[in-house]
A and B are shown apart, each in its own frame.
Chain A
Amino acid sequence: GQQVMQIPQYQHVQEGEDFTTYCNSSTTLSNIQWYKQRPGGHPVFLIQLVKSGEVKKQKRLTFQFGEAKKNSSLHITATQTTDVGTYFCAGEIPSGTYKYIFGTGTRLKVLA
């Protein structure tokens, strides 16, 4: 079946260090979304990438969509304690269905 995997599952970093999570799909995606879930909360939308090779930035966050539209990454520069949470990617499979398969998530802990 359709799967979206994320690595790493967990990441502990010192405040100020960089962080990257990678998302890989078994099938080509029409678009990919990224969400952040704070402990005890619900997922909150961060961004959507649509084009092959697309790169988008939001302050310290950089999002990339692979050329083959099967993988994506989220990079956070100089992490802060407010970055703590679980980051999920979600891919639309198949195209045009509005059905999204969420990745397994990467839980980030930032040590002050």
Chain B
Amino acid sequence: SQTIHQWPATLVQPVGSPLSLECTVEGTSNPNLYWYRQAAGRGLQLLFYSVGIGQISSEVPQNLSASRPQDRQFILSSKKLLLSDSGFYLCAWSARSYGSVNEQFFGPGTRLTVL
């Protein structure tokens, strides 16, 4: 069966510090991968998505970046965090099967607080 791992679960970082959040998927190959951010009590904002190794689509201008060094690994990074980067970061994957159900499976999330 497929599993998605995301860590850490919570993170408190000072303004200006770097960030690295990692997401890995097991039990599937060639998945679509997604990074979303959710502000408290708000909806999900799509940050990045990837349909293959090295293929990253950025959806909003920001000081965040994403990389996909391996098929089932998706990393979210920042060189210098801003207060506005606080939020709940969710990684998700879906199977590459156009014409079929593209259910997204979400990881447990990382709650990031920037002070």
Report, as a range, how many residues of chain A touch the other chain.
Answer: 20 to 34
Q: What separation, in Å, do the CA atoms of A104 and B32 have in the docked complex?
A: 23
Name the one of B36, B45, B90, B105 contacting A45, with C-beta atoms under 8 angstroms. Answer: B105
Q: How many residues of B contact A (CB 8 A)?
A: 26
Which stretch in B21-29, B62-70, B78-86, B95-103 binds the other chain?
B95-103
Supply 18 further A-B pairs (C-beta < 8 A) apart from A90-B44, A90-B104: A6-B43, A31-B102, A42-B90, A42-B108, A43-B104, A43-B106, A45-B105, A48-B101, A88-B44, A98-B49, A98-B51, A98-B94, A98-B102, A99-B57, A99-B59, A101-B46, A102-B45, A105-B43
Q: Is the interface of A mostly helix, strand, loop or mixed?
A: strand
Known: A42-B90, A43-B90, A99-B49. A33 touches B104 (CB 8 A): yes
Residues of chain A having any CB pair with chain B under 8 Å: 6, 31, 33, 35, 42-45, 48, 88, 90, 92, 96, 98-105, 107
